[in-house]
Structure 1
Amino acid sequence: MLKIAFDQIYAHPLPDGHRFPMLKYELIPEQLIHQGIITDENLFSPDLCSEEVILATHDAVYWQQLHHLALTAKEQRRIGFPLTDRLVAREQRIAQGTIDGCHFALNHGIAFNVAGGTHHAGSNWGEGFCMLNDQAIAANYLLNKQLARSILIIDLDVHQGNGTAEIFNGESRVFTFSMHGANNFPYRKEQSDLDVGLADGTGDDEYLNILHNILPQLIEQQQPDFMFYLSGVDVLASDKLGKLSLSQQACKLRDKFVLETAKTNNIPVQVSMGGGYSPDIRNIVDAHCATYALAKEIFF
């Protein structure tokens, strides 16, 4: 069964000025149910990720400052909004949802987190609306529980996964691959194991050709036994923060290729949804829902 982490706290935690980008977290499950792709049985609500698990990835001082709402005004500006208890709880639930998704993926091949993809959070900082790095936390959880020995993180959000790169710098069991807009946020990049910076305006054919050339080689070289996929839809030409020029169809073909690669190679994959900032929220929701529909078709 396709399992999807979702909680109402995902959808309603932000100050009014940041509300629009978060609408997708409630609209995606509603649309998937409306389209008959899922039922309520596919959704699960995660608990809070424990401090012990968080501290296997994030610095203790940073976590305590975050947990007690003690980050400086400058540090909060770097994150993008003022801290509240509700926001921190949201991040903990997102992280736990990704961990729970890993268990479902190990049993069923794939699982999703409606939120997640908080890849700008480093070991001791938050940035770009990210405070706890859900896929990094889950990857370390798998390694520490000896549920995986070699992990591939595929980050196809339009923004580089700088926090993920920093967290796993020097960790040979986790290979970080980020394909992103070269001239986009974050302007100070970290070094992933493989970074592919794309020029502004990169379109469908070039994007897909690069991905098709790279991913099979990575699978062959790294021999991962678990994959994380960050499937941001801010690669769309309509995205106001993106700078790339992909069509909805190319975004769907991108996801199809990644998911089919996982299925063909019998590699469990956890998917977090990442960014999407098109002015018309229907473009965002439609692109994300297409990823779920593909997963149902390919894996079930």
Structure 2
Amino acid sequence: MNPLRAYYAPAYAAADSTPSARLQLLADRLQRCARVELCEPRPMDIGLLQGLHSDEYTKAFLDGTAPLASSQGVAWSPAIRDSVLAMLAGQLDAADHALQHGIAMNVARGFHHAVWSRGGGLCALNGLALVAHCRPDRRIFVLDCDEHGGNGTEEFCARLGNLYSASIFGTRFGCYGGTRSWAFPVNVGRDGFATYLDALQAARTLIVEHAPDLLIYQAGVDCHRNDPKGRAGLSSLQLLQRDRWVFRMARELRVAVLFVVAGGYQDAQTLMSLNANTVRAAVNTYCVGSLAR
């Protein structure tokens, strides 16, 4: 089988922050992997954003108009804008590749808190909803395993008839379930890992029922027990077990999968290692050899 295709551009990590720094560390790691092909996405076609968010917000973010341009919670700058646009371009290229070849990765942070009228929770534009927006003929199902519920994606599910979402989270973040959207709060530290597996199984049932063309997997690691924002309480091994479960499920169901690394707030080296485990699970599940040379 061909190597795992992973999309990344230096602009992804242009912002000066730990969440951005770990993306460059991960890209450097993947560059040394024999069974991962790192590719730079094509430039973002700004016209594809039309109609995704409100015209007022889209224009404000592209132009840097205060205060709306910084509504994600990060002060706007051209570098922030260009980073977001590069990651969105990678999202669309990775979606195309996954639909053609079964799996792809975008080395991007999460998008799931951006709602129609503004950004939020460090998410400027919703790159999960963007895939459904640009592929109206395809059913897109988001399996969101970030620490925080995908409230923005949930809102977009009610707006886009081809978008579905199941969030498994430790922190609700306004995610309660709704139209084509389901919420699964978990606390592994209190209730055990079996409860997390039960939530994954419930999500699998929904995926089978709705038969998507593409599964977008938010493989967040801020649900790790040592993360300063983490409440779900997963260990490193349990995160790896989660990743293996998702990739095996996608392969068994013969549904194409695009995955992103999403959230994480520990030091950059720790986050890179946890994200690399997710890549290892994908590589091993799809029989493309070992992660390291």
Q: Counterpart of 2:170 in structure 1: which amino acid?
A: G
1:157-176 equivalences in 2 (<5 Å): 157-176=146-165
Equivalent residue, structure 2, for 1:152: 141
2:197 to 209, 217, 223: 209
Q: Which moved more, 1:172-181 or 1:234-243?
A: 172-181
**Residue 269 of structure 2: aligned partner:** 282
The structure-2 alpha-carbon separation of the partners of 1:127 and 1:139, relative to structure 1 and needing over 3 Å to count, comes to same
Q: Identity across aligned pairs (percent)?
A: 24
Letter in 2 for 1:125: R
Distance in 2, matches of 1:207 and 1:286, equals: 25
In structure 2, relative to structure 1, the CA distance for the partners of 1:153 and 1:234 (3 Å cut) is same
- The alignment partner of 1:131 has SS state of coil
Distance apart, 1:38 and its partner CA: 4.1
* 1:273 aligned to which of 256, 261, 269: 261
Give 1:53 deviation, angstroms.
Answer: 1.1
CA deviations on 1:18-49 (whole Å, 9 max, x unpaired) are x2232111111222344x3545xx11112332
Greater alpha carbon shift after TM alignment, 163-172 vs 101-110: 163-172
Aligned residues of 2:188 and 2:234 also touching (Cα < 8 A): no
Of the structure 1 ranges 216-225 and 155-164, higher mean CA displacement relative to structure 2 is found in 216-225
Greater mean deviation of Cα atoms: 290-299 or 167-176:
167-176
Q: Residues 116 and 135 of structure 1 are in contact (CA less than 8 Å); yes or no, is this contact kept in structure 2?
A: no
How far is 1:212 from its partner? 3.9
Counterpart of 1:57? 52
Gaps of 5+ in 1: none
- Alignment match of 1:298 (pick from 285, 288, 291): 285
Aligned to 2:113: 120
Instruction: Show the counterpart of 2:243.
Output: 255
Question: In 1, Cα distance between the equivalents of 2:200 and 2:264?
Answer: 23
Corresponding pairs, count: 283
Secondary structure, counterpart of 1:95 in structure 2: helix
Taking structure 2 as the reference length, the TM-score comes to 0.89
Q: In the TM superposition, what is the alpha-carbon distance from 1:213 to its structure 2 partner?
A: 2.6
* 1:29 and 2:27 are equivalent in the alignment: yes
Return the TM-score normalized by structure 1: 0.87
CA drift of 1:79 comes to 1.7
Distance 1:248 1:200 in 2: 13
CA deviation map 1:233-259 (0-9, x unaligned): 111101011122111111011111111
How many angstroms does 1:201 deviate by? 3.8
CA offsets per residue over residues 197-242 of structure 1, 9 Å max, x none?
A: 2248456523432234313311221111211111101111010111
Cα RMSD of the aligned pairs, angstroms, is 2.0
> C-alpha offsets along residues 177-208 of structure 1, whole Å, 9 cap, x if unaligned?
111124x5x3x446441011224845652343
* Letter in structure 1 aligned against 2:66: L
Distance 1:225 1:140, change over 3 A: same
SS in 2 for 1:92: helix
- Letter matched to residue 168 of structure 1: C
- State the alpha-carbon separation in 1 of the partners of residues 148 and 34 from structure 2: 29
**Distance apart, 1:114 and its partner CA:** 0.8
Residue 244, structure 1, aligned to residue 244, structure 2 = no
The range that moved more, 96-105 or 53-62, is 53-62
Contact residue 95 and residue 138 of structure 1 kept, 8 A: no
| CA contact 2:119–2:125 (8 Å) conserved in 1 | yes
2: CA distance between counterparts of 1:171 and 1:61?
Answer: 19
2:185 to 197, 220, 226: 197
Residue of structure 2 in register with 1:9 after alignment: 11
